Amino acid sequence: MESKNQVVERSVGKFRRPAVFIAAFVPAILLLALPLFRPAEVPFLLLFFGRFHPLVLHFPIVLIILALLFEVARHYSLLKLGDNFFKVILIAAAITTLVSVGAGFFLFASGEYSGELMEQHFWLGAITGSAIFITVGLFYAYLRDARFYWAYFAALAITNGAVAYTSHLGGSITHGKDYLTEHLSVLGSELTETKSKAEDEMLLYYDVVVPVFEAKCLSCHNQQKSKGGLLMNSYASLLKAGESGTPSMTPGNLEKSELYNRVHLPFDHKDHMPPAGKTPLTEDEVSILKFWIEGGSSDSLRVSDARKEENIGPVIERVLPELLRYHRNALIARTKAIELEADLKKLANELNISIERDTVSDGDFYTIAMKFPPAPFTNEQFRQLSPYFEVFSKVSLIASGIDDAGLYYISKMVNVKELYLQKTNIDGSGLVYLQKLPNLEKLNLSFTKIDDQSTIDLLKVPSLQEVYLYRTNTSPQVVEALSKNKPSLRLLVEEGPYF
C-alpha cells in the first residue's frame, strides 16, 4: 500500500479528466453484450482468427493474476512497485483480453463447440473480459483520487475469481467437467496406505500383479462386465475358464494360461489383450506375469523374496515406481464411478426411466430405457441428461415424446452404438443430426413418419450398419436403391428389436 506521504501528495478532490475512465468502461459494456450477438455467417478469415483463442487466452490470465499478487505484495511492503508498473500490466491485460475474447467469439461462432458447458464458458468469458476493463477503469480512477483504491483492489480480486472459474469451464470443455476437481474427492482416503506400505510387507500378487490388472484389464473383466466370460477381480476367478475353455491362469503352466497367451501376442493380432485402443501391458509387466505364473502363481510370495531372483529382480525394481500411479488412478476411477452411479440413479428416479450399466460394450458405459408402461418423456426431460451424454452406449426411447428437435441432443451422445426410436414423434427432419454420431451402428425407426428423403440422410452416418424401417413412409424402391448404393448398410423393413 502507498505511504502516507504519497497519499497526501495525491489529489483527493473531485475526480477530474474522466476520459480514460470512461474509455475503459465502454469496452466493458460491449463485452457484456457480446454473447447476445449470434451471427448467421462468419467470414473464413475470422474463423481462422478464432483458432488462436487457446493460444492468446493465457496472456490476460497470467497478467491479471500477477497484478493481484504484486498488489498484495505492495500492500504488505514486500515489494516496492510504482503505479506505472501496474499501469503497464493492466493495459496489457486489457488489450490481450480483447484479442482473446474476440478469438473465442469467432471460435464459438464456427459451430465447432456447442452445448450448455460451452454457453456458460462463453458468457463467463465475456463477463471476465468486462471485469478486466472495469478494473482498469477503477485503477485510473484511483490514480486521480486515492479513495478509489479499495474499489480498484476489490475489482481486481473479483476479476481473478472470474478468471479462475472461466478457466475451469474452459478446461472442462477440453478435458472433462471434473478436470480440476477430480483429485479432491480422494484426498485423505486409502491412498495414504499405498504410500506407507513397507516393501517387506508387499506381496507380489496383491501389490504388483493386481494393480496391473486394475490398470489394464478390469475395465472389461469385472463383476458387472465379464468379456469373454472371463473374470479377473479375484484370485479364485483367475483359476476359472472363460468362453475359450482355458483358465486365465494355470499355476506353473504358461501354455494353459489364457491370460499370458493373450498379452504375449503381437500388438496387431486380433486376439491380443488388451484390445486396440486400450493401454497394453509393458514388457516388464508381461515379464512379471510370466515369472509369477511359472513360479506357481502364489498369492503369498513376498516382493522382497521375488527380488532376490536374478532374472526378475531388476524388472520389479523398474515397475515399483509405477505402482503408486496405478493405485492412484484406480482409486480415482472407483470414486468417480461410485459418484456417477449415484447421480444417474437419482436422475433416473426423477425422470421415471431406467438407467443401467452396459455389461456388454467395452468401457464403463450405461444404457437408457423407458419403463413399461412408458411415462411421458419429452425433449426437455431428455435434455436433463446432457451432463452425462458421453457415458451412454445404448438408448431406447420407445413410445416417448422425443421428436426431431430431440435428435439434436441425441447427437451429443458420441459413444452411443444402439438407438431405438420406435413409435416416437420423429418425422425424419432431424435425422441429419445423427451424422455427428461416430459410433452409431444400429438404429430402429419403425412406426415413425420418416420418408424417402430423410432415409437418404442416413447414408452419411459414418458407422451405421443396421436400420429398421417397418411401418414408415420410406418406399420399397428407395430401400432397394440405397441397399445397392451402400451394401454395408442393412435397411430392414421389419419391426426389429426393442433393446
Grid cell at residue 319: 515397475
Residue 375 lies in a domain: yes
Residues 404 and 362 in one domain: yes
Task: Say whether both 117 and 255 belong to one domain.
Answer: no
Domain C-terminal end among 334, 362, 392: 334
Task: Please check whether residue 340 lies inside any domain of the structure.
Answer: no
Residues 6 or more apart whose CB falls under 8 angstroms from that of 132 comprise 60, 64, 90, 93, 94, 97, 159
| Residue among 270, 273, 276, 275 nearest 289 (CA) | 273
Domain closes at, from 305, 334, 363? 334
How many domains does one find in the chain?
3
Domain co-membership, 451 together with 414 = yes
Spell 41-65 as b/e; 16+ CB within 10 A means b: ebeeebeebbebbeebbebbbebbe
All three cell numbers of 109: 461462432
Burial of residue 78 (CB within 10 Å: 0-12, 13-18, 19+) is: exposed
Task: Assess whether 304 and 386 both reside in one domain.
Answer: no
| Residue 85, pLDDT score | 94
Dihedral of the CA atoms 139, 143, 146, 151 (nearest 10)? -10
pLDDT of res. 192 = 46
Quick one: 302 and 392 in the same domain? no
- Is residue 368 assigned to a domain? yes
Query: Has residue 341 been placed in a domain?
Result: no
**pLDDT of the residue at 391:** 92
User: Are residues 131 and 253 part of one domain?
Assistant: no
The CATH number covering residue 416 comes to: 3.80.10.10
Q: How far apart are CA 472 and CA 346, in angstroms?
A: 36
Cell numbers found for residue 97: 483480453
Contact 485, 461 (CB under 8 A): no
Supply angle C-alpha 402, 403, 404, rounded to 5. 135
Q: Which pLDDT belongs to residue 96?
A: 94
Cell of 94: 486489457
62, part of any domain: yes
CA–CA gap between residue 459 and residue 486 (Å, rounded):
8
| Residue 430: how many other CB atoms lie within 10 Å | 20
At residue 224, the pLDDT reads 57
Give pLDDT, residue 333.
74
Residues 250 and 108 placed together within one structural domain of the fold: no
Model pTM score:
0.60
Residue 347 lies in a domain: no
Predicted local confidence at residue 39, as pLDDT: 79
Do 374 and 415 have their domain in common?
Answer: yes
The pLDDT of residue 8: 39
Same structural domain for residues 31 and 146?
yes
Which residue range is the domain that position 406 belongs to?
352-492
Q: Which of these three, 334, 360, 376, is where a domain ends? A: 334
- Going from the C-alpha of 144 to that of each of 65, 123, 469, the distances in angstroms are 24, 32, 74
Residue by residue, DSSP assigns 190-204 as THHHHHH--GGG-BH
Strands 442-444 and 466-468: parallel
Report which of 360, 375, 426, 390 is spatially closest to residue 115, judged by C-alpha positions.
390
Q: Are 142 and 44 in contact (CB under 8 A)?
A: no
- The whole-number pLDDT of residue 430 equals 93
Residue 45 placed within a domain: yes
- Beta partners for 443? 419, 467
C-alpha torsion sign, points 132, 134, 138, 140: positive
Looking at the structure, tell me whether residues 202 and 283 fall in a common domain.
Answer: yes
The one-letter amino acid at 170: G
Q: For residues 112 and 123, what is the distance between their CA atoms, to the nearest angstrom? A: 17
Inter-CA distances, 207 with 131, 210, 288, Å: 52, 6, 12
Integer angstrom CA distances of residue 242 from 227, 231, 236, 255, 308: 9, 8, 13, 15, 34
The verdict on residue 441 lying in a domain is yes
> Are both 377 and 476 inside the same structural domain?
yes
Q: Does residue 274 have a cis bond before it (omega within 30 degrees)?
A: yes
Residues of the chain whose pLDDT is less than 50? 1-15, 190-196
Separation CA 327–CA 248 (nearest Å): 23
Question: Is 458 found in the same domain as 396?
Answer: yes
